[in-house]
Amino acid sequence: MQGGAIGEPGAELIGVLACIIGGAIYSAVEKSLAALGEPRLRAAREGDDANARAAARYLDAPTRVSLRLSAGRILCLVCTTVLSYDIALHFDPPALRVVAVAVAALAYAALQGVTTTLATRRANRLALPLLRYARPLEWFATPFAFPLQWVSRAIDTLYPARPEETPERVTQLDVEHMIEQGAEHGSIPAQDAELLRSVIEFGDTVVREIMVPRTSMIAIDISTPLSEVMQLITGEGHSRYPVYRERVDQVEGTLYAKDLFRLIGEGGQATGKLEDLIRRPVFFTALSQKISVLLRQMQARRVHVAIVVDEFGGTAGMVTLEDIIEEIVGEIRDEHDTDEAPVRQIGPDRYLADADVSVYDFAEITGLALPEQVRSYESLGGMVVDLAGRVPKNGDSVEVGGHDIIVRAADERRVSRVEIVRRKQLPPAAE
């Protein structure tokens, strides 16, 4: 060090330390606000404390606040570099000057890294208090932020944001990410996370995915005597049944079991006509209808059953309010339901499944890698019939993507249960 210059770098050294600390604060506030995210900032704004006012101030002009913080951070970095270089000029030989500048840069990077990491990991607690207490630093950086604001306005004018890019719009992916993060960190219980995911997926689900297919419908011919209808209701245990004339494509109405029970309870005999008990009109819906729309329609019409029709006007199946609600809350079992799951693992890479289960759902439940081209089938049974070219018999099988699908229960009209076995991969032959 040159003689007589021992005390000269003192002021510069204090300035370097102040700039390093200031840069760390600017960076911590900026990163913590980004980590907190707009949804949580909007939630915090609903309060009535100082943090709520800070959140409201930021949300009113997020770009302006962010540019001020960026300008302050850049200013601190520039001042740290200039002052550390000025201090280095007091050192001799020149190698010490390089060391002095390197130490200042390392100190700046280290402190900024520590503070931003801490602020990001504790964003829920630190972001808004930091924004409040750093307000004087924000004011100090305001003049230096004007050039950045001009550049930002020019970019916005030349390249206006599209609606899907605006920060006010929280996308479905943002919500799903928040749910995943909450479930991983334990802030959202697993069951609640699953319910929230079901709500998100609810809007994209169509009737085709949840309906009871035509082959599984329990429908009643309108000419059936009431005594036989009573036996059917007692055996099946459902509360509502579609009633058709001659064939299922001509659904005339819906029989409510309670209407038949009321007739018998009032002293009537089960000798009347079924046609006099059914309720009309029938509510029809399309295979491609969104179930969120269908739910509102059924609520407005005060009906519990909808008949699903295909593009030719034929009956494809039926859907009930219970089917729709189960898409959100999961399967609802009553005293008439069996406890047997629709898909059961019966051995290593062996599954027994109801043929009504969709191929997509089966792949999701079991994790088996079925080819994409077969996942569009509405059911396992329909896939087997289509691939076989006929209604197969018990014991018949088809091969799909390295899996054998064996028919375990079928009649002359449809397949009701299948077994899926993944073929073992043979090791490659030795050369």
More confident residue, 166 or 11: 11
d(CA 395, CA 123): 60
Averaging pLDDT over each range in 144-153, 157-166, 182-191, 422-431, which range is the top one? 144-153
- Helix (DSSP H) and strand (DSSP E) numbers for the chain: 16, 12
Q: What is the pLDDT of residues 206-221, one digit of tens each?
A: 898 888 888 788 899 9
- Give the strand pairing for 415-422 and 403-410: antiparallel
- How many C-beta atoms lie closer than 10 Å to residue 277's C-beta? 18
| Mean residue pLDDT across the chain | 81
| Cβ-Cβ contacts under 8 Å for 160 (sequence gap 6 or more) | none
What is the DSSP code (8-state) at residue 425?
Answer: P
Ranges 110-114, 296-300, 335-339: which has the least confidence: 335-339
Superfamily of domain covering 207-329: CBS-domain (3.10.580.10)
* 247 strand-pairing partners: 245
Contacts 24+ apart (CB under 8 A), 392-400: 400/370, 400/371, 400/374
| Cβ-Cβ contacts under 8 Å for 36 (sequence gap 6 or more) | 123, 124, 127, 128
Reply yes or no on whether the pLDDT at 168 is more than 50.
no
Q: Does domain 343-422 have CATH number 3.30.465.10?
A: yes
**What's the whole-number mean pLDDT along residues 106-129?**
88
Domain ranges of the chain: 10-160, 172-202, 207-329, 343-422
Reply yes or no on whether the pLDDT at 107 is more than 80.
yes
Quote the percentage of the chain above a pLDDT of 70: 89
pTM beyond 0.75: the answer is no
Measured over the CA atoms of residue 259, residue 263, residue 265 and residue 266, the dihedral's sign is positive
Reply yes or no on whether the pLDDT at 309 is more than 90.
yes
Exposed, middle or buried by CB within 10 Å (0-12, 13-18, 19+), for 68?
A: buried
